Amino acid sequence: MPTERLLNILEMLSREHSDHHSDTLCAVAAELTELSGAGIFLLSGGPQYTKFCSSDDVADKLLDLEITLGEGPGNEACNSGVALHEDDLLFGKYDRWLAYAPAAVAIGARSIFAFPIGIGAIRIGALILYRDRPGPLTERQESDAYLVASVIGRAILETRAGATELDLRGELGLAHSLDFSVHQAAGMVAVQGSLSLDDALVALRSHAFGSGVSMTTMAQSVVRRETSYDPESRRWRGKEARNP
C-alpha cells in the first residue's frame, strides 16, 4: 500500500518553504522520483496549455518548448491519457517529435517521462519529469510518478476550490483517491447546474468545505438527493450534511 509514500509526500510538502504553492508540488515530484526536475502544465479550457509550475530552469524551458511547438510528451500524455516514456531523446526508438526532441536535448534533458493528470473524464494536464542522462525509470520511480500525478490532480482541483495547503494535507492523509460517491455526485451536480464536470467537482468541494464536512460526506448527501445545486440562484439547497 502506498500509505507510507503518501505520508512521505505530505511530509515533503510541509518541509518545502515556497511562496508559490504550485512550485512546491513540482519540487516534491522531482525529489520523490529522484529525477533531475519536474514541470506541470495544465489544459486551460480548449486545447491551450498553460505553465503551472516547474522545479528548475530546464523544466521551465521544456514546458515553454512544448507550448510553443504544440508537440511533445506532455501533449501526448494529456491527449491519450496514457503515460509516455522516452528513455533517450537523442537515440530513442521513436521518430516522433522531430522538432521537440533535439531542442529538448539542447535545453539539457536527455530522458523524459510524462504522466497524464486527470480524474476520470476530467483532463487536467500533464506532469513532465526529466533527467539529464538517458535511461529508463525503475519500477519504483514509475510507481512514485503515478502516485504523485494522482496527488497533484487532486491538489489542483482542491486548490481551485479554495483549499489551503493545510486542508489538503488533512484530506490526502485520509486517502489519495476520491471516494466513488464523489465521482457520481460530480456527475449529478454537472447536470443540475449545467456545469462542466471539473467545475462540478470544484463546486462540490467548495460546498463541502464551506459546510465543514468531508467531500465524501457531501457527495453521499448529493447521491441520496438530500443536497442539490440550484443553477438559477447559484446556491445549494437541502438539509445540512453532517460528518458521521
Partner 1 sequence: MRMTRESLLIATLVELADNLVDEFDVIEVLTMLCNRCVETIDIDAAGVMLASPAGELQYVASSSETMRELELYQIQTDEGPCIDCFNSGESIIDRTLNDAVEQWPRFSVRAVELGFNSVYCLPMRLRGRVIGALNFFRVKAGALDTNDVVLAQGLADVATIAILQHQTSIDARVLNSQLSSALNSRIIIEQAKGMISQATNCDMDVAFSRLRAHARNHNERLTALANAIVGGSVRPQDLDGASPTTKP
Q: Which is nearer to partner 1, 90 or 121 (CB)?
A: 121
Taking CB under 8 A as the rule, does residue 223 contact partner 1? yes
Q: Which of 90, 27, 26 is closest to 52 using CA atoms? A: 26
Question: Which position among 117, 186, 208, 241 is part of the footprint of partner 1 (CB under 8 A)?
Answer: 186
Taking CB under 8 A as the rule, does residue 184 contact partner 1? yes
Which of the ranges 10-18, 23-31, 103-111, 174-182 carries the binding residues for partner 1, by CB under 8 A?
174-182
Site for partner 1 in 84-123 (CB under 8 A): 85, 118-122
Shortest distance, CB of residue 121 to partner 1, whole angstroms? Answer: 4
Q: Which is nearer to partner 1, 51 or 113 (CB)?
A: 113
Which of the ranges 14-22, 30-38, 127-135, 186-194 carries the binding residues for partner 1, by CB under 8 A?
186-194
Beta bridge partners of 230: 235
Q: Which residues have a Cβ under 8 Å from the Cβ of 42 and sit 6 or more positions away?
A: 49, 50, 52, 117, 124, 125, 156
Site for partner 1 in 143-162 (CB under 8 A): 143-144, 146-147, 150
Question: Which position among 21, 179, 211, 238 is part of the footprint of partner 1 (CB under 8 A)?
Answer: 179
Residues binding partner 1: number (CB under 8 A): 37
Q: How far apart are CA 237 and CA 50, in angstroms?
A: 35
Q: How far apart are CA 76 and CA 96, in angstroms?
A: 11
Q: How far apart are CA 126 and CA 80, in angstroms?
A: 11
Taking CB under 8 A as the rule, does residue 79 contact partner 1? no
Taking CB under 8 A as the rule, does residue 29 contact partner 1? no
Q: Which is nearer to partner 1, 51 or 176 (CB)?
A: 176
Q: Which is nearer to partner 1, 58 or 149 (CB)?
A: 149
Residues near partner 1, by CB under 8 A:
1-3, 5, 81-83, 85, 118-122, 139, 142-144, 146-147, 150, 175-177, 179-180, 183-192, 197, 223
